[in-house]
Amino acid sequence: MESDKFFYGYWHCIVESYPTENGHIVLELLDAETYRFVRNATVIAPEENLCDNEVIIDVEDDDELGEVLVDAGVLREHIKDINIGRWTYPVYRISPHMIP
């Protein structure tokens, strides 16, 4: 699945979503013109029990990424925070049109 275009930093991006083998959803930011990889938006933590419409957002380099993706219509809402190692990550509900 692919999102509408939006700005992330100086990139004009889209988000592509696809499932992992264990059913988690991966969100990747791609340049909207070249389709080159910009960054991963999600953290995959197989030990975490997530619902089919939930993702863990990677905020290690950008703590506002979740809100950027909410504004872009990729995510719907922040549900909770979880601890993985020394980091606290937000869990968001993904927009239905982005569920692969």
6-47 tens-digit pLDDT = 999 999 999 999 999 888 999 999 999 999 999 999 999 987
- Residue 66: what pLDDT? 95
Cα angle: 37, vertex 17, 29; to 5 degrees: 30
pTM assigned to the model = 0.91
70 lies in a domain?
yes
Provide the β-strand partners of residue 17: 27
- Residue 59: what pLDDT? 93
User: How many residues are there in the chain?
Assistant: 100
Query: How far are the Cα atoms of 25, 61, 83, 84 from residue 74, in angstroms, in the given order?
Result: 12, 19, 23, 23
- Residue 95: what pLDDT? 96
91 lies in a domain?
yes
Could you tell me the pLDDT band of residue 1, with boundaries at 50, 70 and 90? low
Task: Decide if pLDDT at 75 tops 90.
Answer: yes
29 lies in a domain?
yes
1 lies in a domain?
no
16 lies in a domain?
yes
Q: Mean pLDDT in the chain? A: 93
Domain count, the chain: 1
Nearest to 96 by CA among 66, 76, 70: 76
88 lies in a domain?
yes
- % pLDDT > 90, the chain: 78
The three-class DSSP label of residue 75 is: strand
Q: What residue numbers bound the domain in which 64 lies? A: 6-98
